[in-house]
Amino acid sequence: MRDDLFEKHCWAEIDLDAVRSNFSLIQNTVGGPVAAVVKADAYGHGAAVVASVLEQAGAAAFAVSCLAEAKHLRRHGIRKPILILGYTDPACTRELAAGCITQAVFSEEYAAALSAAAAGIGAEVHCHFKVDTGMGRIGFCARTDFSAAVAAMERCAALPGLRFTGIFQHFAVADSVTEENVAYTEEQHSLFLKVVERLKQDGISLNTVHCANSAAQMRHPEWRCDLTRAGIILYGLDPSTEVHFDGLRPPMTLKAMVTYVKELAPGQSVSYGRTFTAATPRTVATVCVGYADGYPRMLSGTQGGGVMSVHGRPAPVLGRVCMDQTLVDVTGIPGVRMGDEVTVFGPDNAALGADTADTIAEKTGTINYEIVCGIARRVPRIYLQSGAPVCIWNDLEET
């Protein structure tokens, strides 16, 4: 981690006050313990710093996708429980045990492999059962055969080297308000509670029961069980275009620098493929951001292309987005010169007619999750508090 000056090229500013505000809103809505989902480098916001802020703010636990992400948190001082939501190679059992990292167990075959590895080194691994109630990815398939799924989990609970301390599931369409999907979500919830109740009746101890993702915990705080898992809402973004939560504050703003300004005469073209040719005189600025930084090439300058902001004015993308550079139209924006700051996307752009993570997602036919997660690791993260930088994280300078 660096706290000195950074090269102003392309960088992401992360407002830690917004992160804290979002967490407080979630806690107040849920009224119970909240686990922070910080997989994918905290959805592109930087897991080491964000997790530290959230641990101080009262996060009860953290959820990640893999062992490498869990170890990253431990290396950077996170002491609260960490749950790996996906697969970990049983050969890494020693690292799970040494890091006090909880592993999701989603099948009897996987449990047996994990148990054998743990028993072989005389270790104990903490585990949570993952139940498939309708997501259809991984998990004991309670929707397919309830009795078989319960019986399999009970056999797993008896395996040596594994200590089951919780159980969870994941909603497939909690972020949808259609009648069919609302009914499906309620079915998932009912089925999960039925599994939990059956296991408890059969003497299986389950200390931590959790089922609610971002959308579910905000729409149904009464489903909080022992814990909820907050993901995209921690980062100030709605779970879908159908579901909006007032009060969320997006912490991320992607910025870059103007490196060159030129006058384009009628008939002159710009960028690869000559997809834009000026019909009238234009003033064009080169901005040092491109698809290698996570700025989608699909925002190349056509109808519905990207719009950055310069000097508080919208600046549409011209021509194709390149790997490291993009051209924008600054005609009519006075005084643009080399070294000027450009807001590529961010919450403040909304009032200017320029892009936010949500508008980029809409233009590129994806979801806001992908936009923030896609910001490259080569892009430094600059952490702000009360509007001032307090920390700089630059992966290219990490040892």
Known catalytic residues are: 39, 272
Token pair in block for residue 377: 């690791």
Instruction: Tell me how far the alpha carbon of residue 277 is from its chain's centroid.
Output: 38
Give a three-class secondary structure readout of the chain. CECCCCCCCEEEEEEHHHHHHHHHHHHHHHCCCEEEECHHHHHCCCHHHHHHHHHHHCCCEEEECCHHHHHHHHHCCCCCCEEECCCCCHHHHHHHHHCCEEEEECCHHHHHHHHHHHHHHCCCEEEEEEEECCCCCCCEECCCCHHHHHHHHHHHHCCCCEEEEEEECCCCCCCCCCHHHHHHHHHHHHHHHHHHHHHHHCCCCCCEEEEECHHHHHHCHHHCCCEEEECHHHHCCCCCCCCCCCCCCCCEEEEEEEEEEEEECCCCEECHHHCEECCCCEEEEEECCCHHHCCCHHHCECCCCCEEEECCEEEEEEECCCCCCEEEECCCCCCCCCCCEEEEECHHHHHHCCCCHHHHHHHHCCCHHHHHHCCCCCCCEEEEECCEEEEEECHHHCC
Question: What is the three-class DSSP state of 184?
Answer: helix
**In angstroms, rounded to a whole number, what is the distance separating the alpha carbons of residues 321 and 328?**
10
Is 167 within 8 Å of 128 (Cβ atoms)?
Answer: yes
DSSP-derived 3-state class of residue 369: helix
**How far is residue 101's CA from residue 68's CA, in Å, rounded to a whole number?**
11
